[in-house]
Amino acid sequence: MRSFSLIFKQFSRSVLLIVGFAFWGFSAAYAQTDAAKGETIFKSKCTACHKVDQIMTGPALGPQLTEETDDKYLTKWIQNNQALIAAGNPKALAIVKKFDGKAMTTFTELSDADVGNVIAYVRADWKQIQDDKAKAPAGGAVAEDKGPSELVVWGLIGIIVIAFIVILVLNKVVGTLERLLLKNKNLVIEDEPVAVDEHGNAVDKNALLKKILKNKKLVFFILLCGTIAMGSWGWVTLWNTNVHQGYQPVQPIKYSHELHAGTMKIDCQYCHTGAYKSKNASIPSLNVCMNCHKVVKTESPEIHKIYDALGYDPKTQKYDSTAAKPIQWVRVHNLPDLAYFNHSQHVKVGGIKCQTCHGPVETMKEVYQYSPLTMKWCIQCHKRTEVNAKGNAYYDSILAAHDKIKKGEKVTAAVLGGIECGKCHY
């Protein structure tokens, strides 16, 4: 069942990817000439105050520019909004009012074509974001991951129910046919005389039970179902012993990856500095938190846990190392000691995204174990993942040597010995 769901996941993922690419290709072709230039200008001139999908100092440009279709007005506004305001353009006055009279920088140096490009880029990007959002519920990794396995379970239950009905019906049919046959042979058997007392019903019920119990096929079928159900439950339980997929312990500080990595878009490496250079991605030391939280959210009780741990007094802004007490996080991802895993090999050399193994961390309020972290899971990936050898001189001679033996074969981690015992167990 597990492998089926995995294959299904893989399949659905690749279908999604193809669809996504196709989409992207289309939109890209459509807006290519403008958008590429527009993106450069956008990034150099606009990002200080604007985001496509979020309100920053200025409005979120995506919806703003999509709603407003008058490109001429937009061009004028972007090039010299002060002139428009002075001229008393109603649209201009409205937006200024909305943002408390904050003025926007003028960009008189931009040509009409430049502004056009920027607008094109923002619209395309916004559309892309909208599309992604629309797609997400249908094929977002999390929702879709649970899907197939549930589907399978319900499918199985359905099959069992249908089978049960079929058997009942068949049973009935067989019974009727038998009776017909007997009738034809004039061997009609009258129904057994039912012991009826004055109250009647209770006796009836017992009789029904007796009748059911006498139906050997039915009993056999029920027993069979029971055995199968218990057997599969037992199998799944044993198979998943010590597999802690979904493990989501309560942490001493309510730290939200959704907020930091998702909303704030802080790069994973900002905190997990080890991922690119060490075997441990490492939990950040508290001084990393303090880079921001010395000034951000200083009133939050959760942040005060950091202060307490550091022996930091926010009023005097002084550290007292004698009062410091390290925070004991609960490890979510526990590989056994007997397996050697190195983050830098995978992240830096392999170029694998954190999310591939850790899941959509940017949506997790509290982190849970996304992958099973079983050896099978490791090996599967090693068998399927092509080695990221591009531009890495280390692999030049290695690939050449492999090419001599097996021409044209996909070079996966496994081909380079990535599933040998001694690669992880020593």
Binding positions for other proteins, rule: CB under 8 A:
242, 244, 249, 273-274, 277-280, 282-288, 309-310, 324, 326-331, 334, 337-338, 340, 342, 344-345, 348-349, 391-398, 401-402, 404-405, 416-417, 420-423, 425-426
Angle (CA) 74 77 80, round 5°: 145
Q: How far is the CB of 312 from other proteins (least distance, A)?
A: 10
Q: How far is the CB of 418 from other proteins (least distance, A)?
A: 10
CB-wise, 209 or 330, nearer to other proteins?
Answer: 330
User: Both tokens of residue 58?
Assistant: 């200025």
CB-wise, 215 or 388, nearer to other proteins?
Answer: 388
Phi, psi of 412 (to 5 degrees): -95, 170
CA–CA separation, 134 and 118 (whole Å): 24
Phi, psi of 312 (to 5 degrees): -100, 135
Residues 6+ apart with CB under 8 A from 66: 123, 126, 127
User: Both tokens of residue 82?
Assistant: 């002060």
CB-wise, 93 or 330, nearer to other proteins?
Answer: 330
324, 309 in Cβ contact below 8 A?
A: yes
Q: How far is the CB of 296 from other proteins (least distance, A)?
A: 19
CB-wise, 48 or 230, nearer to other proteins?
Answer: 230
Angle (CA) 278 282 283, round 5°: 165
Within a 13 Å sphere around the CA of 426, how many CA atoms are in the beta-carbon half?
A: 6
CB-wise, 64 or 256, nearer to other proteins?
Answer: 256
Q: How far is the CB of 228 from other proteins (least distance, A)?
A: 24
CB-wise, 65 or 310, nearer to other proteins?
Answer: 310
Q: How far is the CB of 286 from other proteins (least distance, A)?
A: 5
Q: How far is the CB of 266 from other proteins (least distance, A)?
A: 17
Q: How far is the CB of 285 from other proteins (least distance, A)?
A: 4
CB-wise, 189 or 393, nearer to other proteins?
Answer: 393
E strand or H helix that includes residue 118: helix 112-139
Q: How far is the CB of 337 from other proteins (least distance, A)?
A: 6
Q: How far is the CB of 366 from other proteins (least distance, A)?
A: 15
For residue 77, give the nearest of 45, 49, 104 by alpha carbon.
104
For residue 386, give the nearest of 373, 399, 400, 372 by alpha carbon.
399
CB-wise, 226 or 417, nearer to other proteins?
Answer: 417
CB-wise, 232 or 291, nearer to other proteins?
Answer: 291
CA–CA separation, 368 and 376 (whole Å): 20
215, 207 in Cβ contact below 8 A?
A: no
Residues 6+ apart with CB under 8 A from 249: 330, 332
